[in-house]
């Protein structure tokens, strides 16, 4: 059964008077206990945080009270207790069976003591729901000590456990400490509330202001823009394609070489064509001889006269074949159609390589007529517009962008290595007297489109992703 320990200030005063009559001894246990109590109360006033204070209560109280384990609970309501700290445990588990049993014990103490007094009881008095834990717990004697603030509002509960029953003097010391702890706990708990009320008002105003600014910023019009890889190319190149089916024997120019109109670029192997031309020439000579033969015989025979027309037709066929072979022989030498720079890849890849009619071999570019070729991803098709301004950041000089304007673009997308599906745009650069960039330079082009709200500009890709994957 529980025995309620009533606070009796008269008894405490009488005991202190009797002790004062005794000779003062430096090693008097009671004097040392009083000093420890005063020192503990002083340290409690220095703590600035509730969590730290709960840990202090659970651990430092054992300096003047012989408790084996101390549990500190914060109280909200009559029986709503929440574990705050356990002595010698930095991170207590609130769902542990022992902790739940101690919560039941603390509620049992609240039931026994309605006011701010302390009481001692045995652990087995707790409900049978925690019987297994009670049987295994070695500290069977509990001291229940509630603490409240200056206004009498309950702040929490201390539960002290050990093997021996609790004495009256020990209960009085714990009750004195509980009063000090309650005063400090109430002050620490009220401080954030007083500071928080004004902060909550300011926070609400700041949140409203932030929302207004966010709406204004989201509606602010900005230029839509897209980034795409770009390359400097010639504006109107002359493509050199294969004029016949054959094998390239020699390349007479090097990549990047400046050529004039009529410069020999390459030479096809002409062995077979020369042989065909020789055969065709002999066939023409034979056809001429037949015409002479049938013409002379026509004076003596009507049948020979009929063969003259056939021989002339055969001669015409042989002559046409000869002319065709001669034309094919002329095609084996490819000349530059205009002045410019010869652009093609490694010559070793072309020598001895068979090509077909129309296969592109090289191009003749005018370095003074350049433009920018841009590969725009299909996801950024909003930037497809003639006359759209661009900025070109060359990889060789990214700090000095070049301005330009889109001139044309391909109406259909095509696949580039990657593979990626892109639209091809061509833009003219506005150099304003700046030196021409070299052909083949690469970089990144930023293409500007019409204005749109900033919110749409930032959320366009996430919205596209949601629409493609979730159908929103």
The domain spans of the chain are: 3-192, 226-234+366-470, 238-356
Looking at 3.40.50.800, 3.40.50.300, 3.30.450.40, 3.40.50.170, the CATH number of the domain 3-192 comes to 3.30.450.40
Contact indicator for 422, 416 with CB cutoff of 8 Å: yes
> How many Å is the Cα radius of gyration of the chain?
52
Contact indicator for 253, 342 with CB cutoff of 8 Å: yes
d(CA 382, CA 225): 9
Contact indicator for 195, 203 with CB cutoff of 8 Å: no
Please state whether the predicted TM-score (pTM) of the whole model is above 0.95. Answer: no
380: helix, coil or strand?
Answer: helix
| Token pair in block for residue 445 | 């082009």
d(CA 391, CA 434): 15
d(CA 167, CA 60): 20
Contact indicator for 219, 455 with CB cutoff of 8 Å: yes
Give Cα separations from 263 to 287, 335, 360 (angstroms): 39, 5, 18
- Pairing mode, if any, of strands 354-355 and 246-251? antiparallel
Contact indicator for 268, 249 with CB cutoff of 8 Å: yes
Kind plus residue range of the DSSP H or E element containing 75: strand 69-75
Domains 3-192 and 226-234+366-470 share a fold: no
pLDDT tens digit at each of 472 positions of the chain:
334 334 333 443 444 444 444 444 445 666 776 777 788 888 888 888 888 888 888 898 888 888 889 999 988 766 688 888 999 888 888 888 888 888 888 888 887 776 556 777 776 555 545 567 777 788 888 888 888 888 888 888 888 999 899 888 888 888 888 888 888 888 887 665 444 555 666 787 888 888 888 888 888 888 888 889 999 988 888 899 999 999 999 999 999 899 999 999 999 998 888 998 899 899 989 888 888 887 777 676 766 667 778 888 888 998 999 999 999 999 999 999 999 889 888 888 888 889 999 999 999 988 888 899 999 888 787 777 888 899 999 998 889 899 999 988 888 888 877 667 888 899 999 888 778 888 889 999 999 888 888 888 888 778 777 877 776 6
Question: What are 146's strand-pairing partners?
Answer: 157
d(CA 431, CA 403): 7
Looking at 2.40.30.170, 2.30.30.180, 3.40.50.300, 3.65.10.10, the CATH number of the domain 226-234+366-470 comes to 2.40.30.170
d(CA 197, CA 159): 33
169: helix, coil or strand?
Answer: helix
Residue with tokens 């509002």: 153
pLDDT at 472: 61
| Token pair in block for residue 131 | 């019987």
Contact indicator for 410, 365 with CB cutoff of 8 Å: no
pLDDT at 181: 86
Reported in sequence order, the residue ranges of 297-337 that DSSP labels E, i.e. its strands, are: 333-335
């Amino acid at each position: 059964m529980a025995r309620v320990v009533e606070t009796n200030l008269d008894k405490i005063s009488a005991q202190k008077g009797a002790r004062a009559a005794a000779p003062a001894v430096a090693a008097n246990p009671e004097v040392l206990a009083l000093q420890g109590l005063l020192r503990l109360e002083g340290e409690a006033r220095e703590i600035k945080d509730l969590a730290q204070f709960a840990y202090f209560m659970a651990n430092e109280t054992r300096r003047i009270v012989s408790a084996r384990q101390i549990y500190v609970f914060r109280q909200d309501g009559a029986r709503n207790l929440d574990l705050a700290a356990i002595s010698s445990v930095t991170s207590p588990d609130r769902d542990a069976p022992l902790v739940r049993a101690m919560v039941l014990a603390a509620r049992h103490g609240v039931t026994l003591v309605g006011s701010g007094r302390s009481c001692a009881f045995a652990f087995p008095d707790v409900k049978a729901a925690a019987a297994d834990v009670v049987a295994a717990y070695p500290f069977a004697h509990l001291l229940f000590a509630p603490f409240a603030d200056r206004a009498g509002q309950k702040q929490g509960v201390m539960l002290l456990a050990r093997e021996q029953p609790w004495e009256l003097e020990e209960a009085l010391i714990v009750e004195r400490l509980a009063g000090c702890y309650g005063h400090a706990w109430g002050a620490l708990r009220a401080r954030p509330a007083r500071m928080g009320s004004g902060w909550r008002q300011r926070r609400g105003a700041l949140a409203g202001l932030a929302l207004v600014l966010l709406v204004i910023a989201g509606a602010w019009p900005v230029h839509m823009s897209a980034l795409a890889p770009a390359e400097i190319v010639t504006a109107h190149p002359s493509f050199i394609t294969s004029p016949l089916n054959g094998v390239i024997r020699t390349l007479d120019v090097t990549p990047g070489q400046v050529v004039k109109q009529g410069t020999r670029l390459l030479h096809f192997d002409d062995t077979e064509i020369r042989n065909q031309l020789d055969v065709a020439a002999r066939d023409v000579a034979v056809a001429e001889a037949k015409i002479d033969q049938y013409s002379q015989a026509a004076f003596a025979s009507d049948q020979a006269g009929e063969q003259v027309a056939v021989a002339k037709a055969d001669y015409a066929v042989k002559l046409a074949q000869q002319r065709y072979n001669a034309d094919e022989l002329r095609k084996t030498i490819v000349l530059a159609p205009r002045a410019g720079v010869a652009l093609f890849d490694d010559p070793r890849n072309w020598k001895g390589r068979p090509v077909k009619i129309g296969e592109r071999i090289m191009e003749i570019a005018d370095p003074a007529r350049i433009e920018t070729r841009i590969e725009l991803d299909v996801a950024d098709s909003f930037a497809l517009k003639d006359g759209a301004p661009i900025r070109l950041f060359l990889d060789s000089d990214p700090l000095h962008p070049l301005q330009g304007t889109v001139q044309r673009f391909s109406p259909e997308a095509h696949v580039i290595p990657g593979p990626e599906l892109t639209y091809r745009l061509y833009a003219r650069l506005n150099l304003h007297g700046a030196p021409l960039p070299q052909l083949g330079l690469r970089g990144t082009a930023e293409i500007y489109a019409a204005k749109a709200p900033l919110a749409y500009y930032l959320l366009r890709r996430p919205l596209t992703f949601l629409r493609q994957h979730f159908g929103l």
